[in-house]
């Protein structure tokens, strides 16, 4: 299998139906599969997926993952994926017909480990956020710091083998978990492992998020907390002081652009919260360590090289 396309969803069967209708229009001559991960839905999500599967011209796998959190859902999809490349989009996005073809082209360079693409609004009346309309290609060198927002989960892809080496997505991160920024975290860990990344505007999805300006205040807070945790993880688990400093600089630069100094407060909260989580994990590892085991406590979060 060349590409596995993974879509995770929870209680948004109507949005998912429209998303899958767009997916059914994808044109790709190589072998690919569709994996839909149901992250504990209580609506008609299962029926929507099975109805699409009955008429689909590609293999469709339905995965039921009850553990909450997008990272857990992503990892459940990754566990059954067979593609050389795993691509991700959200259940409120509509991929272009050449979405997979453009992703495949982007990975022709064997040194590329992750790819992200352009995200535009489907409904022009929606608030212009959680998108990336840049039309200029960009390369992220191996070993470089991946800033939050440079890779977005609505449009991203990875080499499956490399993603497995870093342990997949960190369950502490992502919507439904403690912290957001699971997309930047995964790309950052791949960069640290020696893979370069690409932003390809030809890889296109339309985002139908349906939110207006008033809906974004709690979302920005959640994002900022996640970004702070990501920066602290870079420092504590990655040992990359320069990356941490670049992350802090990016915070101050955003304050200058947007005039929202409260964002640094929530990013600081996220960083300190992450420290507390690691401390609790370390204490639990010591408490449950078999008697006589002198090995140091090991945290359970996935690998950061």
pLDDT, residue 298, reads: 44
pLDDT, residue 25, reads: 95
pLDDT, residue 295, reads: 42
Say yes or no: 194 and 251 in one domain: no
297 assigned to some structural domain:
no
Q: What is the mean pLDDT of each run of 10 residues along the chain (305 residues)?
A: 97 96 96 97 95 90 96 97 98 98 97 98 93 96 94 97 96 93 96 97 97 88 93 92 85 61 86 96 86 48 66
172 assigned to some structural domain:
yes
Say yes or no: 128 and 228 in one domain: no
Instruction: Look up the domain containing 168 and give its range.
Output: 3-212
Say yes or no: 195 and 152 in one domain: yes
36: nearest Cα among 64, 12, 58: 64
301 assigned to some structural domain:
no
Say yes or no: 136 and 253 in one domain: no
pLDDT, residue 297, reads: 41
276 assigned to some structural domain:
yes
pLDDT, residue 296, reads: 42
Say yes or no: 160 and 225 in one domain: no
299 assigned to some structural domain:
no
246 assigned to some structural domain:
yes
User: Does the predicted TM-score (pTM) go above 0.75?
Assistant: yes
Q: Which residues pair with 56 in a beta bridge?
A: none
pLDDT, residue 216, reads: 86
Q: Do 72 and 39 form a contact (C-beta atoms < 8 A)? A: yes
Say yes or no: 69 and 172 in one domain: yes
pLDDT, residue 243, reads: 86
């Amino acid at each position: 299998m060349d590409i596995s396309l993974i879509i995770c969803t929870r209680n948004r069967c109507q949005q998912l139906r429209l998303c899958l209708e767009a997916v059914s229009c994808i044109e790709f001559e190589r072998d690919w599969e569709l994996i839909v991960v149901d992250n504990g839905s209580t609506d008609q999500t299962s029926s929507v997926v099975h109805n699409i599967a009955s008429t689909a011209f590609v293999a469709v796998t339905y995965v039921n993952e009850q553990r909450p959190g997008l990272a857990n859902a992503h990892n459940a999809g990754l566990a059954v994926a067979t593609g050389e490349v795993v691509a991700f989009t959200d259940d409120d996005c509509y991929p272009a017909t050449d979405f997979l073809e453009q992703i495949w082209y982007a990975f022709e360079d064997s040194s590329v480990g992750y790819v992200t693409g352009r995200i535009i609004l489907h409904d022009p009346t929606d608030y212009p956020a959680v998108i990336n309309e840049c039309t200029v290609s960009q390369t992220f060198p191996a070993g470089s710091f991946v800033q939050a927002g440079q890779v977005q989960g609505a449009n991203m892809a990875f080499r499956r083998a490399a993603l497995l080496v870093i342990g997949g997505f960190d369950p502490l991160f992502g919507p439904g978990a403690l912290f957001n920024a699971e997309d930047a975290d995964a790309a950052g860990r791949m960069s640290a492992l020696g893979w370069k990344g690409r932003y390809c505007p030809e890889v296109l999805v339309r985002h139908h998020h349906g939110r207006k300006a008033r809906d974004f205040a709690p979302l920005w807070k959640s994002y900022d907390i996640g970004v702070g945790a990501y920066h602290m993880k870079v420092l504590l688990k990655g040992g990359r002081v320069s990356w941490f400093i670049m992350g802090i600089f990016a915070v101050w630069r955003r304050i200058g652009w947007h005039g929202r100094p409260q964002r640094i407060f929530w990013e600081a909260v996220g960083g300190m919260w992450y420290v507390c989580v690691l401390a609790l994990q370390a204490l639990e590892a010591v408490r449950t360590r078999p008697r006589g085991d002198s090995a140091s406590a090991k945290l359970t979060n996935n690998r950061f090289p």
